[in-house]
A = this chain, B = another copy of it.
């Protein structure tokens, strides 16, 4: 196993210890249950934003904690959703009285655990809501699946909602914004190699020298289709067109109804991209692909967007939502409006995203 680790079962904890000693100015780490939180939390009167998910996607989410982004992040075991007690303790720690938004990626494990946390937080009097991110167009329908997975748009939602909370948006406004970001973002990814879950010690799947997995998630799981590896331009085109040409997608999600005190089903529909849309283009490494290759992909993506009349007005290129050391990439396009652009540009100061301050 080609990893800089000690015992596999200590992977998450030791990595968190490293973060804590490296960034005491930005974050603190709580152990048992594990969560990372802003060193200046709780921020009185500010909506608190908490995310979380399995570990192995670093820098997401733990390195996005800080001014202008997350108030706390709950890391689970590798590729395993965190548990409700982590989420509950994080909420108690960072709630500044203005309520808490859980940003949740749409995986059965994450959804169930965050729902349990929401129920628990409600019983101790914290105003908590959760909003799902489900942006992976590789998952075709929502009727016969768990629905689309939450991938790249999560990073963008965390930045944009974090900025909004920092600017004083109230809980309802932050929630509405988060839902809007999700409905306007779409992603797809591919893998050139598998990754190895430390506790397992061997690659999750094996790919031939000239094979790739198209339409993967972020947990080292196989994708929609295995195929011959292609040129960067062809791979970029497959991802980009799947995203751009994706048609209307509708799904039913569960949101907490505060008045009724129970979960209600809400139907959400997002609209396809259109000519003259302004977008943020996010080219992401799955962890093992270096940034030089991401720029080759970005180059082709820019060309395709231009041909399609889609205007890239912001971008993000780098490893931000990864699958351990997997080689491969994903593309996310997020349709932006003026408000989202302002919030994207707003200052952010976290271990991994930082600008304007």
Contact with B along A299-325 (1 / 0, CB 8 A): 100100000000000010111001011
B4, B55, B297: which contacts A289 (Cβ < 8 A)? B4
Q: How far is the CA of A305 from the CA of B289 in the complex (A)?
A: 31
**Chain B residues within an 8 Å CB radius of A356:** 357
**Chain B residues within an 8 Å CB radius of A15:** 292-293, 295-296, 299
Q: How far is the CA of A282 from the CA of B171 in the complex (A)?
A: 39
B14, B290, B295, B327: which contacts A322 (Cβ < 8 A)? B290
Q: How far is the CA of A288 from the CA of B231 in the complex (A)?
A: 20
**Chain B residues within an 8 Å CB radius of A292:** 11, 15, 55-56, 58, 324
Q: How far is the CA of A104 from the CA of B295 in the complex (A)?
A: 25
Interface residues on A, range: 35 or more
Q: Which of A18-26, A156-164, A240-248 is the contact stretch?
A: A18-26
**Chain B residues within an 8 Å CB radius of A55:** 292
Most chain B CB within 10 A, of A1, A6, A18, is at A18
Minimum distance in angstroms from A28 CB to a CB of chain B: 15
Q: How far is the CA of A72 from the CA of B282 in the complex (A)?
A: 26
Contacts A15-B296, A21-B299, A298-B18 known; A290 to B354 CB distance under 8 Å? no
Contacts A15-B293, A354-B354 known; A298 to B22 CB distance under 8 Å? yes
Minimum distance in angstroms from A207 CB to a CB of chain B: 8
Q: How far is the CA of A209 from the CA of B329 in the complex (A)?
A: 25
Q: Is A17 an interface residue (CB 8 A)?
A: yes
Q: Which of A39-92 contact B (CB under 8 A)?
A: 55-56, 58-59, 63
Q: How far is the CA of A239 from the CA of B17 in the complex (A)?
A: 20
Most chain B CB within 10 A, of A2, A193, A292, A293, is at A292
B4, B231, B288, B315: which contacts A5 (Cβ < 8 A)? B231
Q: How far is the CA of A20 from the CA of B243 in the complex (A)?
A: 24
Q: How far is the CA of A6 from the CA of B233 in the complex (A)?
A: 7
Told that A287-B288, A355-B355 touch, could you supply 10 new A-B pairs with CB distance under 8 A?
A: A3-B327, A14-B296, A16-B295, A18-B294, A18-B295, A21-B299, A63-B291, A288-B288, A290-B322, A290-B324
